[in-house]
Amino acid sequence: MTDATATLSADDAALATPFLATLVRIMRAEDAYGAWEKRSDAHLLKDFILTKEQRREIPIIGDPDPDVLWRVDKFYAAIGLTIEGRTGFVASPMMKIGHEGFGRVILTVGRLVVLSRSLRDVHRWGHEDLTKLAEAGTKAVDEACEMIAKYPGLADW
């Protein structure tokens, strides 16, 4: 097996995770004019990927542009939807990010904060490859589902 096919199948495995499948679904839902219709799933998610080299080229201090905030929003929306798919509970994200790119995202289910993340340097937000992106989302979903399993009474408020 060559390196190229190995990478290809890593991407395919990542895209097959419930989290990335949901993220792709959300992105396609936003495509009201069909402009992305012919794009592959991997192409559709390309802006979520930020390699180490790309990150190094971005200044350490910077204001996040609307596009990156939009992607962070979609990332957490996909986490919420994947939680719903797994547990049946709707998880709603709330985000508070200052113009300097520092902030916080929480996902709540009923009276339970199932996920809480501090965000910093949002202008450099992204994941190294599809595998890492899938891992980050799936880890957050796992964490949230554990909270729901532990406190079902508060989730079902």
User: What residues make contact with a second copy under the rule CB under 8 A?
Assistant: 94, 96, 106, 108, 110-113, 116, 147, 151, 154
CB-wise, 42 or 154, nearer to a second copy? 154
CB-wise, 52 or 99, nearer to a second copy? 99
CB of 30 to a second copy, least distance (A): 17
CA nearest to 148, candidates 85, 58, 65:
85
CA nearest to 52, candidates 137, 122, 124:
124
Q: Are 127 and 75 in contact (CB under 8 A)?
A: no
Burial class of residue 73, CB neighbours in 10 A (0-12, 13-18, 19+)? middle
CB of 51 to a second copy, least distance (A): 32
Q: Which two tokens stand for residue 114?
A: 């199932």
CB of 77 to a second copy, least distance (A): 13
Q: Which two tokens stand for residue 65?
A: 């542009």
CB-wise, 16 or 113, nearer to a second copy? 113
CB of 39 to a second copy, least distance (A): 30
CA nearest to 46, candidates 143, 133, 152:
133
Cα distance from N-terminal residue to C-terminal residue, the chain: 52
CB-wise, 102 or 151, nearer to a second copy? 151
CB-wise, 134 or 148, nearer to a second copy? 148
CB of 115 to a second copy, least distance (A): 9
